[in-house]
Amino acid sequence: MASLLIRDSTTELTSFPCLKLRDDLEDLSVPNDNSVPQNRRFFPRSSVKRLCTEGWISSALHCCCLKCREHRQTAQRPPNSPYYYAAIIGENKSSRCDSGRVGILFALCVCSECPSLIYSFIDKGITDDYFENHMSQFTASNIRQKYWSSIHPRYSERFHWNKYRFATPFLKKILFDEYPSEIILPFLKESRLGKQNKHGEIEDEGSYGKVFAFEILDEYFAIPVGHEFCALHQVQLMTIS
């Protein structure tokens, strides 16, 4: 007679703290809309920084699951080192990490199920600022070649594809800006604009392609405008198709 194994999700998360921490992160992702695929939801910087408390960091670095224990053994770094804690929470002012914080990078490592990868970034002086300004360098192959040669390709690939969710740009230019298709912009409540046909479908008006209305998450709205426009959160996005 075949036996049936029933997995208790609560027990699983308790046994594998890194999975619980990853779920903590996913709870922060926006837009909180089932119509938006998970890989197109982003993590607001302010929410990630609030999550990265000393206790949360410690839980990730000391995860007792077999995978994390193997990663720590391979990395050969002490998980309780004050140096790494200080770098993650932004208190490290050493010459190797003089711009401080690597909290966003650490959250990205946790999301990619490889918290120990952060040791290699810190040792090479990589910070959140550097990552955000040189994101194209952090490909799966470069991570294995430059930062951790023994990392399994599975985790470097996850890091590569998850990185866009942690690098949403601030909107600073007034007139025009262009972004690669992989970049996730800080837009919420997107809705297509146009006229409705007899089938209830939205059709484009004019010859300018698809037009959308959306809201911009406040912390990413950095366009210098006059006071009379400070409350402007809903604008139109025009894309040529």
Contact 151, 143 (CB under 8 A): yes
Domain stop point among 166, 196, 211:
166
User: pLDDT at position 161, please?
Assistant: 94
Q: Which of 118, 134, 166 is the last residue of a domain?
A: 166
d(CA 137, CA 48): 22
**Which has the higher per-residue pLDDT, 191 or 125?**
125
232 has a pLDDT exceeding 50: no
Establish whether the linkage from the previous residue to 37 is cis, with ω within 30° of 0: no
> How many folded domains does the chain comprise?
2
- In a domain, residue 172? The reply is no
Which of 2-6, 131-135, 193-197, 199-203 has the least mean pLDDT? 2-6
Q: According to the model, what pLDDT value does residue 229 have?
A: 32
Please determine, for residue 141, whether its predicted confidence score (pLDDT) is greater than 90.
yes
Instruction: Please check the confidence at residue 227 and state whether its pLDDT lies above 80.
Output: no
In a domain, 179, yes or no: no
Q: Are residues 117 and 221 in the same domain?
A: no
Mean pLDDT, rounded, for 122-144 = 93
Of 110, 132, 166, the last residue of a domain is: 166
Burial class (CB in 10 A: 0-12, 13-18, 19+), 181: exposed
Asked whether the CA dihedral 70, 73, 25, 9 is positive or negative, the reply is positive
Residues 110 and 205 occupy one common structural domain: no
pLDDT classification of 174: cutoffs 50, 70, 90: low
For residue 35, tell me if it sits in a domain: yes
Claim to verify: residue 90 and residue 34 sit in the same structural domain: yes
Say whether 194 sits in a helix, a strand or coil: coil
For residue 216, give its domain range: 187-239
198 and 156 within one domain: no
Question: What pTM was estimated for this model as a whole?
Answer: 0.78
Q: Are residues 161 and 227 in the same domain?
A: no
Q: What pLDDT, on a 0 to 100 scale, did the predictor assign at position 15?
A: 60
